[in-house]
């Protein structure tokens, strides 16, 4: 058996007396795409922030590549990257300058070649010389994805990666992520409120509600279990049962 790239056990996060994440356990295998689904406020972003070491869990364990996050933070985070709409980057730098900075921070070799590569893959040529402050939200999303893929991580945490993308670019991004998974065995944990995308992308889905896992499995298994026509129907059913 292979070691999971990520294993989370009994994870919990409290903010004062409010429990945002409660007793969450799951793992991700190499090359697996796991979709984290749930209504607004379900605890998806909080979970991802704990996995990135941005906030400390109240209880529970996080292991990546067989090592505990708390004890091997630097070594682990070197092989991890993420993208979210809330990332702040130096706004006065151009797109390519920002990517060069990321490359330097991660100590990458061959930075210029890698940046050229990712700019091409994500079709960012048109705005690579633009100042980051002037980007449209879809362009900004692509920049944060480029930043995440640039470091060739083993696991990628994507918080609503396609939220502001037009359908054409969103389609291309999904194809690119699947290709990265196929060619280098990239594992991905991601969130989305687009149910079709969830169905299409995820090998497995975890449905969070008020911080707890209420369903888990392939999209097809979850749909069958709840006796609905598609994932959107399951979502509506679960979300309205609050």
Instruction: Please report how close the Cβ of residue 42 comes to ligand ATP at its closest, in angstroms.
Output: 4
Instruction: Please report how close the Cβ of residue 109 comes to ligand ATP at its closest, in angstroms.
Output: 35
Which positions touch Mg ion (CB under 5 A)?
A: 44-45
Concatenated DSSP letters for 66-87?
TEETTTSHHHHHTTEEEEETT-
Residue whose CB is less far from ligand ATP, 132 or 141: 141
- Burial letters 193-217, b for 16+ CB under 10 A, else e: ebbebbbebbbbbbbbbebebebbe
Residue whose CB is less far from Mg ion, 4 or 43: 43
Residue whose CB is less far from ligand ATP, 52 or 102: 52
Instruction: Please report how close the Cβ of residue 19 comes to Mg ion at its closest, in angstroms.
Output: 16
Which residue of 3, 14, 45, 228 would you call a contact of ligand ATP, by CB under 6 A?
Answer: 45
Per rule CB under 6 A, is residue 56 in the interface with ligand ATP? no
Token representation of residue 176: 């690119």
H-only helix segments in 107-212: 111-121, 137-150, 167-184, 195-201
Per rule CB under 6 A, is residue 181 in the interface with ligand ATP? no
Per rule CB under 6 A, is residue 40 in the interface with ligand ATP? yes
Which residues are paired to 191 by β-bridges? 36, 159
Angle at CA of residue 163, ends 101 and 86, nearest 5°: 45
The residues binding ligand ATP (CB under 6 A) are 15, 18, 20, 38, 40-46
């Amino acid at each position: 058996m292979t070691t999971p790239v990520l294993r989370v056990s009994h994870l919990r996060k409290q903010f004062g007396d409010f429990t945002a994440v409660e007793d969450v356990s799951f793992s991700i295998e190499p090359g697996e795409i796991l979709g984290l689904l749930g209504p607004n406020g379900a605890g998806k972003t909080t979970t991802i922030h704990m996995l990135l070491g941005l906030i400390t869990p109240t209880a529970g364990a996080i292991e990546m590549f067989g090592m505990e996050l708390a004890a091997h933070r630097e070594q682990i985070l070197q092989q991890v990257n993420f993208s979210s709409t809330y990332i702040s980057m130096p706004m006065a730098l151009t797109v390519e300058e920002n990517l060069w900075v990321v490359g330097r921070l991660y100590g990458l070799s061959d930075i210029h070649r890698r940046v050229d590569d990712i700019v091409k893959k994500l079709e960012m040529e048109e705005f690579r010389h633009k100042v980051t402050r002037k980007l449209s939200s879809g362009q900004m999303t692509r920049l944060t994805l480029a930043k995440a893929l640039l470091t060739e991580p083993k696991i990628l945490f994507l918080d609503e990666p396609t939220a502001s993308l037009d359908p054409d670019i969103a389609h291309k991004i999904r194809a690119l992520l699947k290709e990265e998974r196929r060619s280098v065995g990239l594992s991905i944990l991601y969130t989305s409120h687009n149910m079709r995308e969830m169905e299409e992308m995820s090998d497995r889905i975890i449905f969070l509600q008020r911080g707890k896992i209420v369903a888990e499995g392939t999209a097809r298994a979850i749909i069958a279990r709840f006796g609905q026509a598609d994932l959107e129907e399951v979502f509506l059913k679960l979300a309205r049962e609050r």
